[in-house]
Amino acid sequence: MRGPHNFLRLIRTGATFERTGAMGVVLDAFDAPPLLRTAARLLGKPFRWLGYEGDPNMPPVTRAITALGPAYIKFGQILSTRPDVVGIEIATQLRVLQDRLPPFGMDEAKAAVEYELGQKVDAVFSEFSDPVAAASIAQVHHARLAATGEEVAVKVLRPGIERAFRRDIDAFRLAARMIERLAPFSRRLRPTDVIAHFEQTVLGELDLRLEAAAAAEFAANTAKDAGFAVPPVLWHLSGKRVMTLGWVTGLGAADVEAIEAAGHDRRLLGERVLQLFLSHALRDGFFHGDMHQGNLKIGPDGTLIAYDFGIMGRIDHYTRRVYAEIIFGFIRRDYKRVAEVHFEAGYVPADRDVDEFASALRAVGEPIFGMEASRISMGRLLNYLFEVTERFGMETRTELILLQRTMVVVEGVARTLDPHINIWDAARPTVEGYIRDSIGPRAVAQDLVQAARVLSRFGPRLPALAEAVLVAQSQPTPPPSRRPLHPLVWAGGGAALSALVILAAASL
C-alpha cells in the first residue's frame, strides 16, 4: 500500500511522541546530543497536532507506543527487557506492553470463537472469563471445557489486527528506503531487508494454526528438558483466529518480588532461562523467538513455563556451529579464533585484516569478561559493537536477526531475575556441551552417517546418471547451427557428477 498516507504515518509517529511527552523522555534516556534534540523538537512541534493523544493515564512512552499500534508495541516489548539500554524507568513502564494492554470486548471475542469453532461458546465451555491478559496481537481468556471440566486458555486475535500491522509495516518500509537513500552508509545494515524479515516474522503470528503447530513441535523437542514445560495444544478447539491450550498456573517472570517471596532461587532461574534458550537454539535449531517476561511463568515447583509461540526461530546446522564457536571463543578469550570464524562464515569481507578484527573483538570482550551483569553498560557495549561492524564493513545477516534479537531479550530476562548474573559462566556448560557433541569425533561420525543416508537415496539412480554423463560426453560437439542442449540436460549431468564426487569422498 504505497502512497502519501505512509509519509503521514511517519510524521504522525514523531508528532505522537511529541504530543504525549515521550519525545523528551526518550531523548534523555539515550542521552541524545544537543543537535539531535534540536532537530527532533523542530520536526516534532509543528506537527504536534497530528499526533495521537493516547491514554493520559499511562506514562508518556507507553502512552505513545500503545497509541501508535501493534507494530510499535512489538518494538516496545523488546525494549522492555533491556533496562540497561533504555533505563530502569522506561523499561518498567514498557512492561505493560507484554500482557497488560487494554482488551477488546467480550462480545467480539465470543463471536470470533463461535465463528472459528462453529459452535456456541456455552456449548463448548462451561466457563469463559473476561480477558486475563491482552497483548498487541491477541488476548487470552481462562475457560473450562464443558465436556471434561479441564481448565484451558483460549487465545483470540484482535479484530482488524492484520490490516493494522500491514499499515505500520508499509510505513516502516518507506522509512527504511528513505534511510538507505539519504544515508548511504546505512545500506550495509540492510534496513529494507530487516523490515521484510520483521514483516515475515510478525505476519506469521496472525495465523494461530501455525502457532499451534509451533507449540506442538517445541513441546516435542523440549519434553526431556528438566525444569521446563510447554502447555499442550487442543487441536479440535483451535483454528486460524482462535487457539486453545492447557491452562498453566504460575508467577509471571516479571514479578520478581512474588518470585522471591515464594522462595524460588532467582540465581538458578536466571541461569536456567539463558541455558535453555542456548540449548534450544544450538541443540534443536528451533527456539522461542519472543521469550520476554510476559511469555514466561514460574511454576510452583520452580519449573519455567513458556507460552505464546507466534514467533519461533530456526537456524540450520552450519549456522548453529558458527554461533557456538563464536560464543565459545569469547568464553575462552580466544579472539583470534572468533575472528577466523567470522571470516570463514563470510560475516566479514575477505579483504579485511583478520588480526585487526581480532584486536577489535578483544576490546569488546575483555572489559566484560568475568564481570557480573550489573557492572556492564550494555548501551556502551552496543555502541562499540556498532562501530566495529561499520569499521569492518559487516552487513546485517537477516537469517540471524531473530536469533540475535532473542538473545538480547533472554539476557535481559536473566538480568531481571538475577542482576548479578555472569553471562559467560552461565553459558559455558551449554556451549561446551554443544561444541563437544557437534565438532568432536562423535559429530564427525554422525555427519558420515547422515551423508551415507543421503547417498543411499541416490544409490539406485547412480548407474543411470553416470551412463547419462558418459553418453553426453561421447556425443560429438554440435555445430553452431544446432540448438544447444536444454539446461535441464546439463543440470542432470551436473547432479550425476556431484553424486559421484560425494560417493568417492565418502569412501576415502
Residue 305 backbone phi and psi in degrees, to 5: -110, 125
**290 a catalytic residue:** yes
Residue whose C-alpha is closest to residue 273's, from 174, 373, 400, 375: 373
Burial class (CB in 10 A: 0-12, 13-18, 19+), 24: middle
354 class by beta-carbon count within 10 Å (0-12 exposed, 13-18 middle, 19+ buried): middle
Q: Which three cell numbers stand for residue 18?
A: 511529541
CA distance 302 to 295: 16
The three-point CA angle 218-96-217 to 5° equals 5
> Cell numbers at residue 216, please?
506442538
Q: Which residues pair with residue 482 across a beta bridge?
A: none
Closest CA to 199 of 173, 220, 178: 173
State phi, psi for 285 to the nearest 5 degrees.
Answer: 70, 20
Inter-axis angle of helices 70-79 and 401-417, nearest 10: 50
Q: Cell numbers of 388, please?
A: 566495529
In this structure, what C-alpha cell is assigned to residue 185?
Answer: 552508509
290, 316, 353, 425: the active-site residue: 290
For residue 16, give the C-alpha cell: 505522537
* CA neighbor of 343 nearest in space, from 368, 363, 325: 325
Q: Which residue has the cell 469453532?
A: 117
Distance CA(116)–CA(105), nearest Å, equals 17
The one-letter code for the residue type at 445 is A
Q: Would you name the residues annotated as active-site residues? A: 290
